[in-house]
Structure 1
């Protein structure tokens, strides 16, 4: 059933993105007076064809649905048959360089516009997200050095002491507001509320390395969602947790005197204490604890995490054999129509800039090529987001639409960006890039695309088999 959901979600996602991208080319071509011969969704053998009696465009759905194309009237692609004189003004190659530029750029722009609309829908309809409550940060992280103890609710962020303060509505909102500051290695001021009032915390991001941004940068900053309940959902037979007396339903309050309300931080602490005794403060309720316990009673339980090999790193880490469940406080986030569009445009811009920066860092070796993903990973996330609900799937669709727009704008021949580069050269020099050089660049661009596709597919397979 999950596989079927993934396949259907993937088909819908790719279908929508391809149609929007190609329709961008098609609509601007029509506005510029170019005759469109074919609008194809997919490649290869046509499965369905229909010719518009008004425009003469052949609409096609082909067998291989991983893309599409718009074929326009062009004197360079006539297969030897001359174009009738009365149709020459409708040929793509006869249009001015700026009209050709607009037609080619319209595809990626359509993807960005789609992302803005999808994000605006998510913001306008509302979504339930974790509140911006922080858990106790790990020692020596920027959050810990800023003075966070855990339990504070971040309500605003500003860049530097003189920057404009921006309201923080949720954990996701906080993450996006910090992302740009992390890339730019800036200082930010976070305003947070606790039981004693509102305080400002100076967060210095200048020492964060590029590798930290590749991974979960919020964890590197020391920020994890907090303020909730961390409970034991199950205990493995024969594990350190079972031997120590932990049971399903026990609430974990602290580890070695450090308050804990976040599974990620708790697991990291246990991993770093392989073979070393730790003391858990546990709150037990009557239904889940041993017989005779009273609800809300606190107990200290000592145990020694068992040393096991971590498949991901190959290192020995500590494990106690308990399944954990975290319930964090959540908040319903909803915006008005105008604000939703503004936020959608800003989120699209931020993600596009982030994608370009990440790709640039991969080229110069400052970021891992493991960040590239292919169709297998996209299908997997399409299915997961579809199961989470409409908001998650729309957000996923917007993210992939932005990635598709950015990818097509890269100055690689055979992509839209490569053609745009030709037109810029033509606009500056007044001369068309020769067919000979275009052929050379096209072969080089095709080699780049094949290499990137191979890396993305390898990363997909590596994620599937975990090596």
Structure 2
């Protein structure tokens, strides 16, 4: 229920932002807006404002729309024709349509700016292990080195170091890495292998770097609904004791056990409310072939050493630049992932629908404001990028038609537009079906 609540909150907020972009620019361009709707379906609430616009709240929270005066949809009085969308210049129509995705991207910039100004906590990027003969070992990196810069960018946390290295992996380029070692700063050239988008999460592992992590107690935090841990009966607060008769010393050891046991039965003993209990757990096989159970750690049962804690924080002006960069990087990565799915380089199993978004929304809200705002920024960027795709019925489809109009000197025929909308509807339904199918597959196996 909590996941559903935060899903509705997140989606409603982002829909309002997107549609308000269209609404605001349309009004500035002199176009009359007939209806501003959040959600689809029969209205459950409506009110007509002093501006003559009908504001509507509908029950299906999967989108919204701004209905403008348009001669192609109804007869319009002579006195109102100048306010019709179809009567506007090409530049104004482009601005109105592009304003929705632009509003989503602008919101993401503001969200990231807020996070960078207030500070994003994390763990210092100190190397815990270096795999022999790996890229990291060859470059000279050793255990205990703290990565402070990558190509001149400050990297106070592992998250910032990872994001700085990831662009290098797109083309397999080298990076200048500054580390703090024994109180001395040293510069190394780290060769970064070229990897696919699907391998991005394994970048540090492929480099041969294992981060130094604080020792966390093996206590179960939030579990994914219908995931292996949930189905086996594990609950938040359960303290893991043994796996197949071997003591579980910390969370890192537990994670390694799970990764190596994909599809295998594990006999677990754990403590719940002061009593020892047992069960059998079977990790599912993840995309990379390792095991996973859909459960996180409850860090409240552990204390993180103060000398391992850091944060990413900038002044207001520097935060503005970083926010734009972060938005651009995530938007370009999203677009590359979509292109990869079309070309077959990225599996469509990575697509997530409303169920996945709801689960992530609930989980991120539980982890605090920073995580939830970051989630909102990423979903807003995704929404903006998706709407810019040149698919009829999406904003990008309309912009593509405007481009054709600019080249031809006149719009394409109404019948061609109708045919395009049919194709667009089919593609959108196919996309939604794939996302829902992936959600149900993850939920029910």
TM-score, structure 1 as length reference: 0.79
Q: Indicate which of 369, 374, 377 corresponds to 2:353.
A: 374
1:241 aligns with 2:246: yes
Q: Indicate which of 290, 306, 314 corresponds to 1:335.
A: 314
Give the Cα–Cα distance (whole angstroms) in 2 for the partners of residues 73 and 238 of structure 1. Answer: 66
1:443 aligns with 2:429: no
1:61 aligns with 2:61: no
Q: Is the 8 A contact 1:355 1:406 kept in 2?
A: yes
Q: Is the 8 A contact 2:147 2:179 kept in 1?
A: yes
Q: Is the 8 A contact 2:330 2:381 kept in 1?
A: yes
| Cα deviation, residue 150, structure 1 | 2.5
Q: Aligned-residue CA RMSD in angstroms?
A: 2.8
- What secondary structure, in the 3-state scheme, does the structure 1 residue paired with 2:412 have? coil
| Cα deviation, residue 171, structure 1 | 1.3
What corresponds to 1:49 in structure 2?
46
What corresponds to 2:271 in structure 1?
none
Alignment of 1:65-464 (within 5 A): 65-78=61-74, 82-158=75-151, 165-195=152-182, 197-209=184-196, 211-213=198-200, 215-226=201-212, 228-229=214-215, 236=241, 239-242=244-247, 263=253, 266-267=256-257, 311-312=284-285, 327=304, 329-464=308-443
Give the Cα–Cα distance (whole angstroms) in 2 for the partners of residues 430 and 413 of structure 1. Answer: 20
Q: Aligned residue pairs: how many?
A: 398
| Cα deviation, residue 5, structure 1 | 1.9
Give the Cα–Cα distance (whole angstroms) in 2 for the partners of residues 25 and 100 of structure 1. Answer: 10
| Cα deviation, residue 139, structure 1 | 4.3
- Dislocated runs of 4+, deviation >4 Å: 230-238, 262-272, 313-317, 323-328
1:296-332 superposed Cα distances (whole Å, 9 cap, x missing partner):
xxxxxxxxxxxx9753169899xxxxx9988572213
Q: Tell me, which stretches of 5 or more residues in structure 1 are unaligned?
A: 159-164, 253-261, 275-307, 318-322
- What secondary structure, in the 3-state scheme, does the structure 2 residue paired with 1:216 have? helix
Choose 1 or 2 for highest CA Rg. 1
- What secondary structure, in the 3-state scheme, does the structure 1 residue paired with 2:59 have? strand
Q: Tell me, which stretches of 5 or more residues in structure 2 are unaligned?
A: 220-238, 265-280, 292-296
Give the Cα–Cα distance (whole angstroms) in 1 for the partners of residues 19 and 104 of structure 2. Answer: 9
Q: Is the 8 A contact 2:156 2:311 kept in 1?
A: no
Give the Cα–Cα distance (whole angstroms) in 2 for the partners of residues 251 and 237 of structure 1. Answer: 11
Q: Is the 8 A contact 2:18 2:100 kept in 1?
A: yes
Give the Cα–Cα distance (whole angstroms) in 2 for the partners of residues 87 and 9 of structure 1. Answer: 41
TM-score, structure 2 as length reference: 0.82
Give the Cα–Cα distance (whole angstroms) in 2 for the partners of residues 132 and 346 of structure 1. Answer: 21
Q: Is the 8 A contact 1:235 1:241 kept in 2?
A: no
Give the Cα–Cα distance (whole angstroms) in 2 for the partners of residues 126 and 74 of structure 1. Answer: 47
- What secondary structure, in the 3-state scheme, does the structure 2 residue paired with 1:45 have? coil
Q: Is the 8 A contact 1:230 1:263 kept in 2?
A: no
Task: Decide whether aligned partners of structure 1 residues 48 and 230 sit closer, same or farther in structure 2, where only a CA change above 3 A counts.
Answer: closer
Task: Decide whether aligned partners of structure 1 residues 77 and 238 sit closer, same or farther in structure 2, where only a CA change above 3 A counts.
Answer: closer
